Amino acid sequence: MELVLAMDLKAGLVVHGEKGKRSGYRPLTWGASPVADPIGFIVHIRPVSIYIADLDRITGTGSHDRIIRECNSLVSHCYADRGCRGPGDMLVLPHLENVIGTETCGTDLHSYHGGYLSIDMKNGAVIPSGDDPVEFLSSVSGLGFEGCILLDISAVGTSKGFPENDPARFRDAYHGKLLWGGGVASVDDLDTLRQAGFDGAIIATALHKGMVPIDLIRRGYLC
C-alpha cells in the first residue's frame, strides 16, 4: 500500500490543516520539517510520494503551479488537487496525478478522462452535493478516472482514526484504485486500510506528531 505525504499549500507555505477550517490554517513548522517552505519541507522529510492541495487555487484566490512543478521534480509520485473546474484545467507533468475534487469539479463527471476523483466528505456527506459517500463511490465506478481518493475533510488534522467510518464498506463499493485521506492516527490505522484492500493512504498529522515513523514515508509503502 502506497504511503503519501499530504502538503496543504497556502500563500506559498505548507500549512497545517484541521477539519477544513482553512481560515485558521497556520505554517507547519513544528513537525517533521523545521521549515514551511515547500521545497525545504520535502528536502527535510524526503518522501517518495506527496499529495498537494493548493488551497489558494481551490478557493480561487491564487495559484501554486510553479511550486507544484518544483515539488513534483523532487519526488517519485505526486498527486495534486489544484481545484480543477473542468477537463481543460489539468496540469500535465511526468509522474503527476491530477486530483479532481468534488468540491470544485462541477457535476459533469462524465467529461473527465484520467486523473483521480477525490470524493471530498464533510460530516459524513459528499460536498457539495450532500450524497452518501458509499453510494456516490459506487456510482462513479464506470467513469474515466484512474482511481478515487476518499478525503474525510472533517477528520483532517485530527488523528482521530476511523470512529465514524468503516473503510471496508468503501472498498466494497469500488473496484478501482482507492486511496484514503483524513484522520489516520497510527500504524494500526494504516494496517486497517491495507487489510481492507486500499491502494494508498494520505497522511500528515500522524507523521508530524510521531505516531507514524518517518522511515515509512521515506520508504513510500506499507508492506
Question: Residue ranges per domain, the chain?
Answer: 2-219
CA atoms within 13 A on the CB side of 81: 29
pLDDT band at 17 (very low <50, low <70, confident <90, very high): confident
- Concatenated DSSP letters of 126-144: ETTT---HHHHHHHTTTSB
- Concatenated DSSP letters of 168-218: HHHHHH--SEEEEES---SHHHHHHHHHHT-SEEEESHHHHTTSS-HHHHH
pLDDT (0 to 100) of residue 143: 95
pLDDT (0 to 100) of residue 160: 67
Average pLDDT over residues 140-150: 95
pLDDT band at 39 (very low <50, low <70, confident <90, very high): very high
pLDDT band at 158 (very low <50, low <70, confident <90, very high): low
> Does the pLDDT at position 48 exceed 60?
yes
- Which region, left, alpha or beta, applies to residue 199 given φ > 0 means left and ψ of -120 to 50 means alpha? alpha
pLDDT band at 20 (very low <50, low <70, confident <90, very high): low
CATH fold for domain 2-219? TIM Barrel (3.20.20)
Reported pTM? 0.93
pLDDT (0 to 100) of residue 217: 98
